[in-house]
Structure formats: structure tokens, C-alpha cells
A and B are shown apart, each in its own frame.
Chain A
């Protein structure tokens, strides 16, 4: 098996990171997937062992390891709790890339990542076209979350309650040359991200409103692409690197103090993965990636830590209605809390908006979305999501808030299927809705 020997050599690139796992097994206590299946191959220790096995060339083909490696939410709960500090997410992403490069990407993935995602203009056009026709195949569901479900029984969509594409993506609402505004102090560049652009444009609009209210100068360069995480999660390092190049060039054109995003996953990808997984960076590129990562911040963190928010005087009216303040519970996206340690700031934003914050049990437990994990392992994803849905309902809240559009999709699906009346909103949407009407 010369092929497997070659693969073993490729995996050797990860050896120094792999040997740091001391097989203590503590990851079993926090892995949302292991909680469901209780199989060792589903938890980080098992997967790290399998990669060591691949490196020692004990398997006859890579498929079994590949399949098991892809059964992972990449939520990073294991890494955040690892006594030995094993950089699990980075290892798994690099391993997926090695395996995908060795095996070749599937034709479908090749089409999606190389031809579409890696070409932001073409991707935008296709999604816009799809948005116009989506009502032919799906029907809006009359639920509080605003999801859709399949018109006809479709094996692909099953009983999902998914968020419909917005008829007008966020970038379409901006001038063709991009958007700039001047403020009185800090200048922030805004990285929109695909899900916010195409499914939750209101989150971007709310973010702009909040930034301008606080007199932060904003720059939004036109033609932004995806942060690259979907390609990377499937092991397509080339498309990822291509997208990073595209975005890096875009954000070089204008000066700014901070790059903010309202998407936990984008923030975490830019900060943690752009500098570490970019394929063969030159010294110059590496320096730029490090510098940009350093300047990138979650928008809640930016508002609380850098701008400073004032709880009271911003409001047009007291939050809530006659029944008292809105009751909000907050879900910690894995990519904010576990990856970046951002947990207090979004809560402060919600409280500053005059809402009553009721903590749910396991607020930092993964919602089960995990990007494409939800597509390939919908049953498991839903079992994990069900726990989240129940924890949310038990708080007696009227709104669940979270700082990640992917989590918003999953939670909407779960609440929609349960027939819940709880709405799902980003902290920026909550905060912006309380600002005086006359602010732009």
C-alpha cells in the first residue's frame, strides 16, 4: 500500500500536535455528539487516536477514518476543556484537508466550493436567483421564528424548518461602491458573512444602526466573500485560501481600527484559522493574516470593551410592554465562548437594552448545528438541538438571543418544529430595536 504510506507521511505533519493528547478522556464529559452516541470514535480522544493510527499506517484505506473524522461538530468544546491544551479543531481541520487532498473532493463539493463559493460574485448572483424562486418549492411556516418548510415531501429537506433566503441580501442594500460613514472616534470595518448577508440581513442593518448610534465610523468594502469555513470544514484548503486572499485584498484598501463581525463563526475563523490554516503563506501574507486576526473582534465585544455602552439613556421607550421587560435567554455560540472566550459582553448588550436575562441550563452547550454536520447527520444534529430547545423553553423567555447566525438557524428549526412562540434574535437586533427612532 504505497498510497497509504504516502498518506501516513502527510499526516506526519500533525505529529507534534497529535502527541500532546495524553488519552485522559476528559473530552467525553463535554462532547455533545458523544453524549448522544457514547462511542469512542465520536469523541476527540478517539479521533486523535485514529489519526495517530493513520500516521502509523495501520489501516488499509482512509475511508473509515475519514468518515469518522467528519462526524464532528467542530464546536471546540473538547479543546476548551482539554487538560493538555490539544488544539483539536485546528488538528481536525488540517486532517480533513489532508484527507480531502489525498482522496480528492467529491464532484458536488468541487462544484460548490471551487466554482461558486470561491467566486463571491457568482455565488451572490446564484443565491439572489434562488431567493426569488424559493417560494415555488417551499412554503413559509406560520411560526414565530419565520422559518419555511418543504411544500412537497422532499427527501433533501425532510421535516426541516429552515430559514428562507432573504429576498434582498444585505449587500444589495448598500451602494455599489460599498459603504462608508464617518464617526467621531474609532473606525470599524464590517465583515458581513454569508448567512447574515443572505438570510439575516436585519442583523447587519441592526449592527450598522448600533455602530452609527455610538458614532463609530464604518467601512463596508463591496464584493465581500465567504470567510471560508464551509470549504475548510470539507477539507478544501485551496478554496479556503483563495477566499482568504480575496477578502484580505479587499480589507487592505481602506484604513480601520477594528474589523468587526456579527457572526461568531466568521470572527473565530478570521482570528483562529486564517493565520494557521492558510496554505503555504509567504512571510508577507503571514504577517498580514496575523495583523488582521489581531484587529478582528466580535461586535458585542467591540461595543462593550472598546466603545462602552450606556444602559439607560439610549432607549426610545422602556423595553417590553405593560407586562414588564422582555424576558430573554442567551445561547453561547461555541465559536464565541469556547473559541474566543466572549460570553459576558453579549449578555451586557442584552441587559443594556433593558431586557431581563434568564439564564438557561447549559447555555454554552452546542446547539448541534455544526455547519455541514447538520446536512449530513440531521438526526444527530436534531437530537442535540432538542436538548437546547428544551433548555430554552424552560426559562420561560419570550426571545432567545445568540451571536451566531448558524446557531440562529438551528435554534429556529428546533423551536419551529416544537411549535414554540419564542422568537430568535441577535443581540444587535435587540439592542437596535431599543434605540431612538431618529438615529439613522
Chain B
């Protein structure tokens, strides 16, 4: 509950229309896209500008009120699930693209800008903002930075952290902090930008983000390879990378996912195939043509049954529509969908794919696997019904075993979804207790009253 005096103070900052306190509205800010129990905040505020945002934070600090910042609430680790005693700060009205500088190839945006909107604006100028998380049609830049979101292009182009040049944010007391710059190089002070990316709102509240842009690739070529065994497909992935080719995207779909996509979209996928690889190379036209041939040769050598190359944009779109339909198609099968993102060094993809199949069998659950094979980031997708307690318990056991398996291969619990609440209890397994302690001390120093998104990442 938020005391009345504080509600009044918040109302004074943002105006009555932009403070929400009714229980119904609170219920709509109690969840995100992670499969976790909802928690209702005490209030939600929708600031419009930097001044209002700073005042809100100072007010909360003074009164020890927890703050959870929320963009579109699409994260998959519970990063935006608030505290009952706290408030939710919504970034929806802070959604201005402040500057796109084509000469210096950067953009300055507010946290509420939708990723796809920025990508489209940048494209109009012949520039490219590569990070493309699956939710980019709705996800915000603020959320992408806070979660260090990835996407399909990680292999060649990296993830959000590779594009954040600088930030302006409020610390827990409402002081305005600037870090990084608009220059390609910047060697002053601590690399606070790096620390802030992926910090899930636990170290500060973003106000502006400076993003690096790159020239848009001139040509691209998409293709699909069909395999009779999943081993052949995953060995092709390893083969392409050892041939020193970096495709822009290199995605895998297992048989379970292929069948679901085909039943759902009737796209003409071979339902008997054990795996599909969807590959796209991009860059200079001559290089694209050469690399496409090399990739096709490699696929054939590794035993691909067929290889189809997109001859035009329509065919290319059809290939990627099949990939985009993967999550949708799987989501139709059962009420609850748990999307994991445990990631392994890419050379271990064949082992991980096999381990996932065994885990599915062992716990008698349905796991569809697809994802970014090229960067080691698979998405084992568990289909279940959360209301079936017995089955859901098996799902939780399976998830823990997936984590253990990924760590044993030298991998990580999360490639791109973040720690949040969902993975906080497991973090020690990956990093060890002293790493957690270090993180907690860092946090305690920067946020002694523990008001910045408490409970996330470090478990406190």
C-alpha cells in the first residue's frame, strides 16, 4: 500500500490522469511474460519527461518506496514484477526519438521507444540497428538495455550491449548520471554504461540511451536446409563457423517444432524432417554470393536432404515466416509455455540438442527446440498446463536439469532473457557465492535503501 500523502505527491508530479491506483489497474501491472505468480504494486505512474521522472525517484527514495520500471512488460524472467509496497514507473509516454545522427551513426532515444519503431526510422536513412529480440514489435529500448536483449542476429552482429554507447540515468536518490558518449571511442571514468546494461533496473533508472548504428548491408541471401538427423544439422552449424563464415542468422528447428509449425501455418515444411536450418548471409553482394555457395556446399557435405535458396524477397519472407511462426505454433498446443534460453558454447550445440531430447523423455514432457544455433542460444520450449501441479513439478525439475547441463558444458543459464526473479535462485550455480556477494555489496553501496527493483538478479 502506498500512503495517501505519497499518492498525492505523485499525483502532483504527473497529474491525476497519469497516476493509477485502482485495484483493477494494479492487477494489470502484476505480471509480465514470465510464468510466475503475479504481484500487484501499490501504484503506477506514467511520467512524461526527465523532470517528472527525477522527482518521482527522489520522492520514492525519501520514503523508502520500491520502484520497478516497466516498458512493455514482455520480459521472460519476471524482471518487471513489482513489490506490493512499491510503485511501477511506466515508460510509455517517454517514447521520443531525440536524435538520429546519420553522419556520426548514432541515435539518442528515450527508454519508451519501441525497438521496431527505431529500427524502421533508422532504416529509412540507410542505417541499421541490428538487435532484434523476438518481441521487437512491442519491446522498448529501455527494456532491451535493462535486460541486455539478444535476437536472431547475435552470431554476426552481437546483442544490445554491443550497441549502447552511452546512457543518462537517475541513481536511487534522483541524481542525474551521465556515462559514455556520442563518440566511437571513450576512455573516461568507469565503464558505467557496461555495468548498467543488463542490470534490470537494480542500479538506476534510464532516461536516455545513445545507440550505435551501422551501415545497412547491401545484399542478403536466405536459404533452408532439410536434414534427416538433428546431428547432421548441428554439425553443419559447427562446420559453417569453422569455415570462418559468419551468417547474419543461423537458426535451427527440431522435428517437434517443424510439425507444430506445419500444422499451424501449412507452409509446406517437410514434417518427416528431423531438423531444418534457416540461414541468411548478408553484406557486399559479391561476398554474399560467394558465401552462399560455400554454405550450400557445406550443407550438402554434411548430408542435407535438400537446400533451397530464396530467389526473391517473397521467398525470403516465407523462410523467415516459418521461423517466426515457431513460438506461435508451439503456443497453440498447450495452455502454458515455458520458454528457456540456456546457452552453450556453440561447438556444444550437437551435445545440447541431444541432452534436451533426453531430458524431455526422462521427465515425460513435451519440449520443442528451436533457436539461434549459430550463437549457442537454443530455446527449449516446454509445453504444459500450469494448473496440472504434478506435471508442472516435473517441468520445474526438467528446467533445473537443463540449467545443470548447460553449465556443465561451460554455458550460461540465460543467453538473452535475463535473470530477474525466475533465475535468481540458480545464479550461484553459475557464478559462485562470492560473485553473488560481490553483486550484493555493489548494490548495497549504490542503493542502500534497496528501492531499485528489489529481489531481481541477486535475490535480495
Binding site for B on A (CB under 8 A): 19-20, 22-26, 28-29, 38-41, 46, 49-50, 53, 58-59, 64-65, 68, 83-85
Contacts and interface: CB of A to CB of B under 8 A. Distances in A.
Contacts of B327: 24, 83
Interface in B85-138: 90, 92-93, 114, 116, 135, 137-138
The 8 A-B residue pairs whose C-beta atoms are closest, nearest first, are: A38-B92, A83-B328, A64-B24, A40-B28, A46-B28, A19-B335, A29-B137, A84-B331
A49 B32 contact: no
B336 interface: yes
Contacts of B30: 49
Nearest to B386: A19
26 contacts: A19-B335, A19-B336, A19-B385, A20-B332, A22-B33, A22-B336, A22-B337, A24-B135, A24-B327, A25-B74, A26-B137, A28-B72, A29-B114, A38-B90, A38-B92, A38-B93, A39-B20, A39-B92, A40-B29, A41-B28, A46-B28, A50-B27, A58-B23, A64-B24, A83-B327, A85-B328
B25 interface: yes
Interface centre among A53, A59, A68 (most CB of B within 10 A): A53
B24 A28 contact: no
Contacts of B27: 49-50, 53, 58
B387 A23 contact: no
Contacts of B336: 19, 22
A344 to B, nearest CB: 15
B31 interface: yes
B124 to A, nearest CB: 13
B46 interface: yes
A39 B327 CA distance: 25
A22 B331 CA distance: 8
Contacts of B72: 25, 28
Given A24-B74, A46-B28, A68-B24, A29 B33 contact: no
Interface string B132-167: 000101100000000000000000000000000000
Max chain B C-beta neighbours (<10 A), residue from A22, A64, A85: A22
Contacts of A24: 33, 74, 135, 327, 331
Nearest to B29: A40
A25 B25 contact: no
Contacts of B116: 29
Interface string B260-293: 0000000000000000000000000000000000
Contacts of B25: 39-41
A438 to B, nearest CB: 43
Given A84-B332, A85-B328, 4 more contacts: A46-B28, A49-B28, A50-B28, A85-B331
A390 B335 CA distance: 41
Contacts of B73: 25, 40
B377 to A, nearest CB: 19
A25 B33 contact: yes
Nearest to B27: A53
B188 interface: no
Contact of B138 (A26, A39, A84): A26
A59 B327 CA distance: 33
Contacts of B328: 83-85
B312 interface: no
Contacts of A58: 23, 27
Contacts of B385: 19
Contacts of B434: none
Contact of B23 (A40, A64, A83): A64
Given A19-B387, A64-B22, A38 B28 contact: no
Most buried by A among B28, B135, B331: B28
B332 A23 contact: no
B380 to A, nearest CB: 16
Interface of B: 20, 22-25, 27-33, 38, 46, 72-74, 90, 92-93, 114, 116, 135, 137-138, 327-328, 331-332, 335-337, 385, 387
Nearest to B264: A85
A50 to B, nearest CB: 6
Contacts of B24: 41, 50, 53, 59, 64-65, 68
A24 B114 CA distance: 15
B278 to A, nearest CB: 18
A26 B114 CA distance: 12
B302 to A, nearest CB: 32
Residue picked from B22, B46, B72, most chain A C-beta under 10 Å: B72
Contacts of B32: 23, 25
Contacts of A28: 72, 138
A19 B383 CA distance: 13
B40 to A, nearest CB: 9
A65 B27 CA distance: 10
Contacts of B31: 23, 49
A29 B138 contact: yes
A411 B38 CA distance: 41
A25 B134 CA distance: 11
Contacts of A40: 25, 28-29, 73
Nearest to A68: B24
Nearest to B25: A41
A85 B264 CA distance: 10
A23 B138 CA distance: 13
Contacts of B337: 22, 84
A41 B335 CA distance: 22
Contacts of B335: 19-20
A23 B81 CA distance: 13
A68 B38 CA distance: 19
Contacts of A26: 74, 135, 137-138
Nearest to A42: B28
Nearest to B93: A38
Nearest to B332: A85
A407 B30 CA distance: 36
Contacts of A46: 28
Contacts of A29: 114, 116, 137-138
Contacts of B33: 22-25
A40 B31 CA distance: 11
Nearest to A38: B92
A157 to B, nearest CB: 26
Contacts of A59: 23-24
A83 B385 CA distance: 17
A28 B138 CA distance: 6
A65 B335 CA distance: 23
A38 B27 CA distance: 16
Contacts of A23: 31-33
A204 to B, nearest CB: 37
A22 B31 CA distance: 11
A85 B329 CA distance: 9
B20 to A, nearest CB: 8
A25 B115 CA distance: 14
A247 B168 CA distance: 63
A171 B63 CA distance: 68
